Structure formats: structure tokens, C-alpha cells
Amino acid sequence: MDIAKKSIILASKSPRRQQLLKELGIQFTVKSFDVEETYPGNLSKTEIPVFLAELKAKPFLVALKENELVISADTIVCLENEVLGKPADVDEATEILQKLSGKKHEVITGVSLLSKHKKTSFYAITDVYFKELTPDEINFYIENYQPFDKAGAYGIQEWIGYIGINHIEGSFYNVMGLPVQRLYEEVQKF
């Protein structure tokens, strides 16, 4: 596939995904449909974000043109096989960050590439290790960064990532919401 001849659609309102794709040097437009992000309870932790990414791409299929390629993604945070979603409020964000404090968790992003005649999907996993967070650090972060649009109630590229993450194993950008190195390879093969 010659990427320059494709019209790329990013099916995501996430400013972080838009930034990462732009920095990858890919020209794209942003368009997304509101879909209910629910999934069957029998899916494994790696199947969940792939299922949701494909769900976000599916509405495009009926009107895709020959030269269009849709990129969609979904990111989840797993702590000991518990999926931690986006917090609804301050109390939920506090509870999530207390759970993550001092522990390793997994960030898993599912990505779907969809054209008129082809679909491919994949996932990437990054292990993230948090130090013990104090209640003051958690409160400061939530109050100043309002992480209610982020799975796991945090953004690695924000203050809490600077002070709270000891190390990661895997793609940093995956934790931001898009495993760009793997995406680049998959787009080239597509």
C-alpha cells in the first residue's frame, strides 16, 4: 500500500492520538461516530481493546471510498486482570490511582485498520510501574489535571507520569494511547 495515495481517517477524538499520528508524519482527517463502548464479558484483556477499536471503525464501512483507510484505537488499563476504565468523578479517580499506587499494571491498546476491502487489527502491551503515591500527590494530580477522559485515571505525559512512574517495559506512546512504532509498521504492510 502506498500511504501517500491513501486518504487517512483517524476515528478518534483523543487529542493525544491526533498529536501522535501527526508527529508520525501522516496526513489525516479526524472523524468519529459515537458508539457505545461495551464489550462481551467473555473477552480476554487483550481482546477487549481490539474489539472496541473494531467497533469504532465499523460505522465507516458502509461509506468508505476505495482510497480511504480508517485508523481506530482503544486503550485499557489492567491491574491484576481488572479492567480500570475512565473515572466518572473525583472519588473514582482517587480510588483508581490508589489501586495503581506501588504496583505494576498493563496498558493495552487495540488498533484497527480498515479499508473498503481489508481489515487488520492488533494490540500492544506496556507494563507500567508506579511508585507509592501519597494522598497529597493523588489529590494534586486529580485537582490540577482532571484525568476523567483517561483510562486508568492518568496520563503518562502529565505531572503524575513525571513523579510517579518508576519505569515502563514496552512502548511509551502506547501508554499515551497509540503504539506508533507498531502502527507505522502495520500501515506500511497494509
Question: Domain with 48 in it: what CATH number?
Answer: 3.90.950.10
- Kindly report the CA angle at 147 between 170 and 98, in degrees rounded to 5? 75
The reported pTM is 0.93
- The amino acid occupying position 108 is I
Helices (H), 24-169: 47-57, 90-100, 135-145, 159-164
Domain count of the fold of the chain: 1
* Residue of 117, 27, 124, 23 lying closest to 73 (CA atoms): 124
The set of residues, in sequence order, having a beta carbon less than 8 Å from that of 141 and lying 6+ positions away, is 97, 147, 154, 158, 159, 160, 164
From first to last of the 190 residues of the chain, give the pLDDT tens digit: 456 678 999 999 899 999 999 998 889 999 999 898 899 999 999 999 999 999 999 999 998 999 999 999 999 999 998 999 999 999 999 999 999 999 999 999 999 999 999 999 999 999 999 999 999 999 999 999 999 999 999 999 999 999 999 999 999 999 999 999 999 999 988 8
Domain that holds residue 18: 3-189
Q: Which sequence positions are flagged as catalytic?
A: 74
Q: What's the CA gap between 190 and 113, in Å, rounded?
A: 8
Place of cell 505525559: 157
